[in-house]
Amino acid sequence: MTVAPASDLAGSAASVPRHVAIIMDGNGRWAKARRLPRMAGHKAGMESVRAVVRAAPDLGIDVLTLYAFSSENWKRPQEEVGFLFGLLKTYLHAEIAELDAKDVRIRVIGQWRLLPADLVKLIEGAIDRTRNNEGLTLVLALNYGSRDELVRAARACIADGLSDDEVTEEAIEARLDTAGLPAPDLIVRTSGEERLSNFLMWQSAYAEFVFTSTLWPDFGAEELAKACETFAARERRYGGL
């Protein structure tokens, strides 16, 4: 293995967040401000998803993770949950050809296999079709919760028969849904809320956070670029001096 000289690491490439993860929040408030039903906010939110996915590769981002449905979102009215699943189907149907053509690889984290069967089938198809792509990795967090992910990883350690000293950070990491992905460098949350809400708790140990008051449907390429600029100005020390 060759080690890059320090001068290479200090260049502009080092200030680009390789992995950006977004907590897309504020669809409901966006709709309310326009006296529209909440669903209109989610629909507009899907357009923001399209915009950031298209913009990410140009910004030098390798991995983009979107918190699209949390394990807690089941508590919402059934009609809204169904609508969100419908939007995901619409998105995958409409975008899969373009995503594939643009070399985007789709990955999904969370207990997505517990989603409705037709959506599961669509997701499987999208993962399969884009499996060998080498451009942007688009990670959709679906029926995802960090605590649940950690419990599943702990159980997998037991199921794999690991002894107590074999239960290391690496062993746990290898059993997380995000295994093989770089840790997020930058976590963005829209709508003025400043919480992690059970998102990538393990993986965000050294992430930078950018909170913006912009509601998700108003977020786009420009705001993503701005968040990356904010990231570039931060000094990351990973616990050192």
> Which residues does the annotation mark as catalytic?
25, 73
Identify which range of 2-10, 24-32, 100-108, 111-119 contacts ligand FPP by CB under 6 A.
Answer: 24-32
Rule CB under 6 A: is residue 26 a binding residue for ligand FPP?
yes
**Residue written as tokens 């990883």?**
153
Question: Of the candidates 146, 70, 64, 67, which has an alpha carbon nearest to the alpha carbon of residue 99?
Answer: 64
Size of interface with ligand FPP, in residues (CB under 6 A) = 20
User: Which of residues 17, 19, 20, 25 is near ligand FPP by CB under 6 A?
Assistant: 25
Using only C-alpha atoms, what is the Rg of the chain? 18
Residues within window 55-114 making contact with ligand FPP, judged by CB under 6 A: 66, 68, 73, 84, 87-88, 91
Using the minimum distance from each CB to ligand FPP, give the nearer residue, 66 or 115.
Answer: 66
Q: Which residue is nearest to ligand FPP (CB)?
A: 28
By CB atoms closer than 10 A (0-12, 13-18, 19+), residue 18 is middle
Using the minimum distance from each CB to ligand FPP, give the nearer residue, 138 or 153.
Answer: 138
For 51-152, list the strands marked E by DSSP: 63-70, 105-109, 137-144
Rule CB under 6 A: is residue 27 a binding residue for ligand FPP?
yes
- Least spacing, CB of residue 105 vs ligand FPP, in Å: 15
Identify which range of 21-29, 57-65, 120-128, 153-161 contacts ligand FPP by CB under 6 A.
Answer: 21-29
User: Which of residues 17, 20, 21, 45 is near ligand FPP by CB under 6 A?
Assistant: 45
Using the minimum distance from each CB to ligand FPP, give the nearer residue, 39 or 228.
Answer: 39
Using the minimum distance from each CB to ligand FPP, give the nearer residue, 79 or 229.
Answer: 79
Other CB atoms within 10 A of residue 148 CB: 17
Residues in the chain: 241
Coil, helix or strand at residue 65? strand
Positive or negative: CA dihedral 15, 16, 17, 19: negative
The number of angstroms, rounded, from the C-alpha of 194 to the middle of its chain's C-alpha atoms is 17
Distances (CA, A) of 217 to 36, 60, 74, 110, 161: 13, 23, 21, 24, 46
Question: Of the candidates 217, 184, 233, which has an alpha carbon nearest to the alpha carbon of residue 52?
Answer: 217
- Least spacing, CB of residue 216 vs ligand FPP, in Å: 6
Cα angle 38-146-74, degrees, rounded to a multiple of 5: 35
Identify which range of 44-52, 153-161, 200-208, 227-235 contacts ligand FPP by CB under 6 A.
Answer: 44-52
Identify which range of 25-33, 119-127, 158-166, 233-241 contacts ligand FPP by CB under 6 A.
Answer: 25-33
| Contact residues: ligand FPP, CB under 6 A | 24-29, 42, 45-46, 49, 66, 68, 73, 84, 87-88, 91, 140, 191, 216
